[in-house]
Amino acid sequence: MVHIWNDPSEVPADFGPSVVTFGNFDGVHRGHQQVLSQLIRIARLNHARAVAITFDPHPAQVHRPESAPELIMGLEDKLVALGELGLDAVLVMKYSLELASLTPEEFVANVLVGSLQASHVVIGHDARFGRGNSGDLDTMQELGRKLGFEVLVISEFGSEGFPLHGDLHDDGGKDRRCSSTWVREALREGDVATAAAVLGRSHRMRGEVVHGAARGRDLGFPTANLASDASGYIPADGIYAGWLVDQAGTRWPAAISVGSNPTFNGVSRQVEAHVIDRPEEAVEDFDLYGQTVVVEFVARLRGMVAYRGPEALVDQMRLDVVQAHNILFAR
């Protein structure tokens, strides 16, 4: 079982030695997974614990909240994804101006060495840390010599070999480096297939099911509406095939709507999942209100369209359900 700590003071005194890395890990995409899998391998070879340090909130939300990126996943899903990789522990550090004021040496000496007893630190070539991002790879190597730990550098993880096409570096070079930015770009376009390829799993949102306008139920397509504070990046408006995972862990095939219901002159964006393939007589007893559910996006079926009336919309929704079924059960 992975240990989750919310402050360095929670780390047991006898926990180490450990192999440590740190980062935001938003999305825990395949690049992150590559780094962390190597960290775990190094930890096992050295009879040490494998530890990742992450930050909450995202540093950009503290330093420049007006332009901070929308997060791919909430903290809960991030911790689930990190735990599934086989780490021994995750330290969630509350990011604040006080933490940001630590010098590179203070951060390394107090947290990596003092609390986690790091024997190895795993970082990338472009790693930055400490006050004003003044620490870099050279700084870490110097601190390693001074404080008695080894620094291991992990190369970037590119998309070569993934089922992706036409995504090159700006300079026209080889396949693009996996990044949270790439995932956000794909989701912004509704390209959940590319997002999934970079993530290594379908993109998901998590939130409480709340009451909506009940238009879907009136039309014969009842939906589970996610609350406005649901976590996870909201993909582009449209209709998607995907899955709804209820609080008990049951996975239901679903047709998912993202948008403002233009046929009914809606304004606010909503994420609604209609569970498909249930017997008609069992639809009304399917009550998810108040449950916290996960919605997974597998494929985009179409964009959001304003239809001339409910009848035309219902006809299209029937087609959406069939298409969603065919995609989800194609295997």
CB proximity list for 45: less than 8 A, separation 6 or greater:
none
Splitting the chain (331 residues) into consecutive groups of 10 residues, what average pLDDT does each group show?
95 95 96 94 97 96 94 96 96 97 98 97 92 96 98 73 42 68 97 96 96 63 90 96 95 93 62 84 66 97 81 87 94 57
User: What integer pLDDT is reported at residue 166 of this predicted model?
Assistant: 40
3-state secondary structure 254-272: EEEEEECCHHHCCCCCEEE
User: What integer pLDDT is reported at residue 321 of this predicted model?
Assistant: 94
How is 143-198 classified by DSSP, letter by letter?
Answer: HHHHHT-EEEEE---B-TTSS--S-B-TTS-SBPBP-HHHHHHHHHTT-HHHHHHH
196 φψ region: left (φ > 0), alpha (ψ -120 to 50), beta (else): alpha
Q: Could you tell me the CA-to-CA distances from 8 to 78, 160, 247 in Å, in that order?
A: 19, 37, 31
d(CA 257, CA 269): 10
Using an 8 Å Cβ cutoff, are 184 and 72 in contact?
A: yes
User: What integer pLDDT is reported at residue 283 of this predicted model?
Assistant: 45
User: What integer pLDDT is reported at residue 279 of this predicted model?
Assistant: 64
User: What integer pLDDT is reported at residue 158 of this predicted model?
Assistant: 61
Q: What is the pTM of this model?
A: 0.88
Q: Which two tokens stand for residue 150?
A: 């080894």
Kindly tell me the burial class for residue 251, based on how many C-beta atoms sit within 10 Å of its own C-beta (0-12, 13-18, 19 or more): exposed
Q: Which two tokens stand for residue 1?
A: 């079982």
d(CA 212, CA 225): 6
Of 185, 299, 292, the residue nearest 230 (C-alpha): 292
Residues in the chain, total: 331
Kindly tell me the burial class for residue 201, based on how many C-beta atoms sit within 10 Å of its own C-beta (0-12, 13-18, 19 or more): middle
How far, in whole angstroms, is CA 13 from its chain's centroid?
A: 31
